[in-house]
Amino acid sequence: MIPSYGELAFSADRVRGMSGGAPWLLMEHSTSAVKWQPRNLAKSPGELTRNSLAHIGRGADGALFFQWRQSSSGSEQFHSAAVPHAGAETKVFREVEALGGVLKRIAEVVGSRVAKASVAMLFDSDSAAALRGGPKPTVDVNSLDVALTFHRELTSRGVAVDIVHPGSRLDGYAAVIVPTLFLLSEHNAEAIAAFATNGGHVVITAFSGIVNSHNRVRLGGYPGAFRDLLGVRFEEIFPLLEHERVTLDNGWTGSVWSELGEATTAQVVASYTEGDLAGRPAVTRRTLPASGRGTAGTATYVSTMLSRASAGALIDDLLARAGVGPVAAGDRGLERLRRTDGSRSWLFAINYAATPLSVTVTGLDLISDTRVEGLAVIPAGSVAVIREDNPCVP
């Protein structure tokens, strides 16, 4: 299960993609508990600030709260607010007040942009709607689960991710991830293939490219629009039961989904080890001829929903092949984000862990007003915003 801050990070990266990379404004988030979940948990101390700065680190120029004073009646009477039912002498109001001071200290980042990532993830609301519309092979497949898992594995490694529409320009990226992109136009499928042909590295997961822009299934085998690029042909979907798992011969595990098929021009990275699909390919990779730039692209297909650990291993392999590193060197689990205005840059380091984590950077931490010389130790649950001495600018 992806932690709530993982979903927050995904959503913020997605909004930045929708804005074309321009600064944006978070119009509404909560100071503590919301009112619409089955169990509405209060935010722990410091979480309000972490959540706010996670949005700002990902390109927001502000993070507004709903609501100012907690309602005494109506459907949102137990939705949190800046001023709770208990009044201003509360944890929540003190944290809101303290956040105001933090925002003043980092105000110089306003108007800057998040530095372009080396990894893009494709997401489309129309595809998500098509996937929701009508019966599918299993009720357990959706447009978000795989995307969230891959995104979290990247961000926990300090790697920046741009979440963009499939029609976006892909030049400038080293790697592109296509997670459960059910609906896809021919034009956008061709653009993804061209990216790989020109030396890029693509990972495509199950149930992607299945229907065209009119929501009609592409005939001839799965995964539809990507068969030629991937060098595979899968003929039948084998959904898994709710608690069923599959094991691959490289030690990876999957759930929810599996497929019967073959590699035509691709190499088999991992095969299923048991059941009706034993010995059949589960993960494949096709290496494309070297491009004019002298680099060979790759196209990887994953026909099951990988576990977190297995997805992490796939991500490590992808990053190594694509030559992609973190925004700044640091400990696993520490989010690292960078904003720049073309002449200055600011590194956001967000620690969600219960232990201190470190990042390599030199500059001024605007929040604590202290100098950092080569290594910043971020206490458990804390955030640093460091104006870098040696700006990383485009």
Is the predicted pLDDT of residue 292 greater than 90, yes or no?
Answer: no
Tell me the average pLDDT across 176-201.
97
Give the pLDDT of residue 26.
Answer: 96
- What's the whole-model pTM score? 0.95
Q: Residue 289 — pLDDT band, cuts 50, 70, 90?
A: confident
HSE-up (13 A, CA, CB side) for residue 247: 4
Give the pLDDT of residue 3.
Answer: 80
Give the pLDDT of residue 394.
Answer: 78
Looking at the DSSP bridge assignments, the partners of residue 285 are 267, 300
Looking at the DSSP bridge assignments, the partners of residue 299 are 202, 286
Give the pLDDT of residue 173.
Answer: 97
Q: How far is CA 119 from CA 29, 80, 159, 177, in A?
A: 27, 36, 8, 8
pLDDT in tens, 327-345: 999 999 999 999 999 999 9
Buried b (16+ CB within 10 A) or exposed e, 42-58: ebeebbbbbbbbbbbbb
pLDDT in tens, 236-274: 999 999 999 999 999 999 999 999 999 999 999 999 999
Share of the chain above pLDDT 90, in %: 95
Give the pLDDT of residue 114.
Answer: 97
Is the predicted pLDDT of residue 290 greater than 80, yes or no?
Answer: no
Q: How many CB atoms lie within 10 A of CB 95?
A: 20
Q: Residue 296 — pLDDT band, cuts 50, 70, 90?
A: confident
Q: Which two tokens stand for residue 173?
A: 């990226």
Q: Which two tokens stand for residue 230?
A: 């991937």
Give the pLDDT of residue 23.
Answer: 97
CB-count exposure of residue 9 (10 Å: 0-12, 13-18, 19+): buried
Is the predicted pLDDT of residue 146 greater than 70, yes or no?
Answer: yes
Task: Look up tokens 């119009």; give the residue.
Answer: 27
Secondary structure of the chain: what % helix, strand, coil (to 5)?
25, 30, 45
Give the pLDDT of residue 295.
Answer: 79
Give the pLDDT of residue 1.
Answer: 66
pLDDT in tens, 120-133: 999 999 999 999 99
Please state, rounded to an integer, the average pLDDT across all residues of the chain: 96
Give the pLDDT of residue 393.
Answer: 83
Give the pLDDT of residue 293.
Answer: 62
Is the predicted pLDDT of residue 355 greater than 90, yes or no?
Answer: yes
pLDDT in tens, 190-243: 999 999 999 999 999 999 999 999 999 999 999 999 999 999 999 999 999 999
Is the predicted pLDDT of residue 105 greater than 80, yes or no?
Answer: yes
Q: Which domains does the chain have, with CATH numbers?
A: 4-105 (no CATH), 119-322 (3.40.50.880), 334-388 (2.60.40.1180)
